[in-house]
Structure 1
Amino acid sequence: MTTVATARPVDEAAVRALQEEAIAWLRSRGTDQWQNLRPARHGTGRSLAEAISRGEVYLVRDGARIIGTVTVDDYADPEFWTPEDDPADALYIHRMVVARSSSGQDVGGQMIAWALDRTRALGRTWLRLDAWRTNPALHDYYLQHGFEHLRTVPLAHRGSGTLFQRRASELDRTTDESQGTPDTHKGK
């Protein structure tokens, strides 16, 4: 049985290990996703350590084994989300990664369902994310999990920028395992 729990500072190395595993796998698949990440933005509030300290990073465990991680917060990246989007009426998924050993088990779908529950519980209308622009399989994954493509923001200095949102009040329309799931989800 899988559980979702808030990451603690001691978990930062495990989260980074999942990210490094995803980066290596993506590289082996020939995608540029996450290959040239921007340097850590320490002091800006957006680094992994800062997100962990605010309680925004979550771990998915199968028993004692960490099989996924996701950051869920109210940070609407101003390069992507406009005032017309009503950014305060949403929660945002960032850095969603599934361990390679758990690929194909829809761990990402479980994280999305958990984030939708959290969004509803906080009275927000939307669950949103920005995905890597050059990864159409990732875009299909989010569409299969009930998200709608809102728009793509092509910024030369960012690899991400394909924006998706899902109304939190919608019934769960996620795919089942027979339809398959990409192994690495959120790319920021």
Structure 2
Amino acid sequence: MRPAVAADRPAVAKMIRARCTWMEERGLPSWRESVDDLASQCDNPYGDVWLLELDGSRIVGRTTIQEQGPPWGWTEAERAEPAHYLNTSVTDPAMRHLRPGTLMAWWAVDRAFRAGRSWVRRDCLSPELVRYYSDQGFHLVHEVERAKYRLYLLGRRTEPLEGLSAWFREGRPALPSAG
């Protein structure tokens, strides 16, 4: 994992378009109209967009890690807890066998633990993603209506995920265990 930079924009846009095609072929809503916006975030001044890169050259995932989540949907007590907020995670569908979404999520959990955070939180729009994120160790905390959408808010306690650093350093094809 590494921070995104402006030069990554074309590769990130290509990867997001591939995911959009994959989603649309399955009748799922996609980010087609937001591709350029998501890719342009590679050079935001906050440095909160991260890329999962394979073999030092192929971008297979992108995510955003923010210091605070949105104020809606979480209780005041939850907002007071130190957390990172993971969002806009997109992966290359051709690399599904490597489970890049899981790797990025686990990396975020480990990173948040090392930064002294207690939680990693995220949201999504579909029950299918709730199940997928549950397999990554996240649990459903709240369901909220926001504008015209039903949002599912999830959280996971942080922890050190041993073996994850070695996976990234050595580029292993098998996933390390989760905790």
Instruction: Output the TM-score relative to the length of structure 2.
Output: 0.77
Q: What's the secondary structure of 1:149's corresponding residue?
A: strand
Shift of 1:80: 2.9
| Letter of the structure 2 residue corresponding to residue 83 of structure 1 | E
1:19-78: CA deviation from partner (whole Å, max 9, x where unpaired): 2222222122112354666x95xxxxx995377331111111111111111111113112
1:55 matched to 2:52? The reply is no
Q: Are 2:152 and 1:162 equivalent residues in the alignment?
A: yes
Gaps of 5+ in 1: 41-45, 178-188
**Worse overlay, 123-132 or 96-105:** 96-105
Counterpart position of 1:119:
112
Determine helix, strand or coil for the equivalent of 2:9: helix
1:104 Cα deviation after fit:
2.5
Q: Which has the higher contact order (CA 8 A, sep 6+)?
A: 1
**Greater displacement, 162-171 / 96-105:** 162-171
Give the alignment partner of residue 15 of structure 2, picking from 10, 15, 18. Answer: 18
Tell me how far apart the structure 1 counterparts of residues 80 and 9 of structure 2 sit (CA, whole Å). Answer: 28
Superposed displacement of residue 137, structure 1: 2.2
Partner of 2:128 in structure 1? Answer: 137
Equivalent residue number for residue 91 of structure 2: 98
Structure 1 residue 72 corresponds to structure 2 residue 46: no
Q: Cα distance 1:52–1:35, how it changes in 2: closer, same or farther (>3 A)?
A: same
CA 1:139–1:51: 2 relative to 1, 3 Å:
farther
Q: Is the 8 A contact 2:63 2:104 kept in 1?
A: yes
Q: Residue 6 of structure 2 is aligned with which of 9, 29, 33?
A: 9
Q: TM-score, normalised by structure 1?
A: 0.74
Where in structure 2 are the equivalents of 1:13-52 lying within 5 Å?
A: 13-34=10-31, 48-49=40-41, 52=44
Which region of structure 1 is more displaced relative to structure 2, 91-100 or 49-58? 49-58
Seen in structure 2, the aligned counterparts of structure 1 residues 92 and 36 have a Cα distance that, compared at 3 Å, is same
Using the TM superposition, give the Cα deviation of residue 81 of structure 1 relative to its aligned residue in structure 2, in angstroms.
Answer: 2.9
CA contact (8 A) 1:59 1:66 kept: yes
Q: Distance in 2 between matches of 1:76 and 1:163?
A: 10
Residues 56-114 of structure 1: per-residue CA shift (max 9 Å, x gap): 11111111111111111113112333423125511011111111220132111111111
Q: Is contact 1:9–1:53 with CA below 8 Å preserved after alignment?
A: no
